[in-house]
Amino acid sequence: MTRFRQAVRTLLRSEILDAAYQLVTDEGWAGLRVAPVARIAGCSRQTVYNEFGTNAKDAIGLALVEREAEHFLLGIQAQLDAHRASLEEAATAGVGFVLRRAVDNPLIRSVLTAARGGQDDELLAYLTTRPEPVFDTATTMLDAYAADAWPEVDAVSRSLAVETIVRLTVSHIVQPAADPEESARRIAVITTRIAYPGKA
């Protein structure tokens, strides 16, 4: 109810996710247990279930991915703000930022390597077969940003461009091409052509 209570809830979620993040990057998602998460977070096991409900492990995985995505989105916004004048430059900077950070992001590394080795692809699914959480957040933010920064692009073209840049970027995270910078430039060209169809 009060702001302090909300702060406590936020703190609790944060502590639990921090603990889960650490355990996932150390030992992989498959080896994650609820009890160690609670121990490292400094609360009881039941508190984790109270906060994340039944199937706490899945909810933690989703929250982990969402938080990481939100983290990326903050960085992307900074990149876009620095290249607001040109859509293509902004796209290059934003995608380049994501691809560069993705290769040394502990969580993504852990998920990718684990999935390549065995069948531990539960978290990877949020980037492949069940990417709605990430896609929705990213497209919503980017669409709002694009509508504000490049109003000359009509709604349909904007929607097409945003969906394309999100899907291509995620694709390159999961299956990286040789050079992140080159990939970013290519994605930016594609996005720009979709946004400005007349500008042959």
Partner DNA sequence: CCAAGGTGTCAACGGCTTGAACAGCCCTGC
Partner DNA sequence: GCAGGGCTGTTCAAGCCGTTGACACCTTGG
If contact means CB under 5 to 8 A according to the sort of partner, which of DNA, its own copies, none does residue 177 touch? Answer: none
Paired tokens of 42:
């400094």
- Closest by Cα among 63, 60, 68 to 105: 68
Of positions 12, 30, 62, 149, contacts DNA by CB under 7 A? 12
Q: Are 160 and 146 in contact (CB under 8 A)?
A: no
Which residue number, 12 or 147, has a Cβ lying nearer to its own copies? 12
Is residue 44 a contact residue for its own copies (CB under 8 A)? yes
Alpha-carbon dihedral sign for residues 71, 186, 91, 82: positive
State the nearest-atom distance from the C-beta of 53 to its own copies, in Å: 18
> C-alpha distances in angstroms, 57 versus 35, 47, 131, 141, 198?
11, 13, 18, 27, 49
- Phi, psi dihedral angles at 42 (to 5 degrees): 85, 25
Q: Is residue 156 at the binding interface for its own copies, with CB under 8 A as the rule?
A: no
Of 23-42, binders to DNA (CB under 7 A) are 32-35, 42
Minimum distance of its own copies from residue 20's CB (angstroms): 14
The least distance separating DNA from the CB of residue 71, rounded to whole angstroms, comes to: 23
- Region 45-84 residues binding its own copies, contact defined as CB under 8 A: 47
- The answer to whether residue 35 forms part of the interface with its own copies (CB under 8 A) is no
Instruction: Out of 22, 25, 47, 159, name the contact with DNA by CB under 7 A.
Output: 47
Question: How far is Cα 99 from Cα 188, in angstroms, rounded to an integer?
Answer: 13
